[in-house]
Amino acid sequence: MPLLVGKDSANNKLREIELDASGQLKVANVSVTSNALPTGAATESTLSGLDLKVTACDTGAVVVSSSALPSGAATEVSAGSCASSLATLAATVSSGVVQVSSSGGTSFTSSTVMNAVSVAGGATVASSSFDMSNVNNARIAIFGRVGSGSASADVDIQLSSDNSNFYNLANEFITLDLATGDFGASIESGARYVRINVTNNGGSSQSVTALISGR
């Protein structure tokens, strides 16, 4: 029968290695002179003291006195209300685009730039200006009346950036209705100020009323 021996380094002797009835190595005493635990690892020699240091934790009564959340962070106690809000938002999506509507209606801004202004025969009179910053849309309407019919007049649209120097909009023409004297036009303007210039081509004075409207 082979014999297993091991060296007793303390006494510099060979000693027989003993096995138990199951063929397992019988170890009576183990002495650990060093281990792989890092610096700062637990130093408890047994776990008997662990019960004294761990108490029952009631997770329903946990109070967080401070956390890593920044100032102004969400304060929802659950995600339930968030899910409801997301469901409402999802219902507004059509073809991947959120549909937005306004219940406030459309607001129009209208200004009377000439109010029954008398323009003598052969004379030219400029209206007051309309400030485009008062509207959200670049498209505006210009309309009014010269005299009460059978009037002959030229109505020019003028633009300005400083409300002082005005220039004719050469590619837009306003034509009078000869039967009534009514006129009207719709234009898009990128200029800050808009006005009209009325030239009376007749021999007698004409009363001119004009409005500019936008939204």
pLDDT digits (tens, 9 = 90+) for 188-210: 999 999 999 999 999 899 999 99
Which residue's structure tokens are 């959340």?
69
Report the alpha-carbon distance of residue 130 to residue 88 in Å, rounded. 42
Residue 35 placed within a domain: no
Among 109, 187, 123, 116, smallest CA distance to 145 is for 116
pLDDT digits (tens, 9 = 90+) for 75-99: 666 677 777 878 888 888 877 777 7
Number of domains present in the structure of the chain: 1
Residue 180 placed within a domain: yes
Enter the pTM of the model: 0.52
Does position 104 have pLDDT exceeding 60, yes or no? no
CATH number of the domain within which 185 lies: 2.60.120.380
Residue 126's domain comprises 109-214
Contact criterion met (CB below 8 Å) for 159 and 191: yes
Residue 197 placed within a domain: yes
> According to the model, what pLDDT value does residue 88 have?
83
pLDDT digits (tens, 9 = 90+) for 122-160: 999 999 999 999 998 899 999 999 998 778 899 999 999
Q: What percent of the chain has pLDDT over 90?
A: 40
Residue 116 placed within a domain: yes
pLDDT digits (tens, 9 = 90+) for 34-53: 666 777 777 776 766 666 66
Indicate left, alpha or beta for 147 from its phi (over 0: left) and psi (-120 to 50: alpha): left
Residue 36 placed within a domain: no
Residue 122 placed within a domain: yes
Report the alpha-carbon distance of residue 140 to residue 215 in Å, rounded. 8
- The torsion defined by the Cα of 42, 46, 47 and 52, in degrees rounded to 10, comes to -90
Residue 186 placed within a domain: yes
Residue 193 placed within a domain: yes
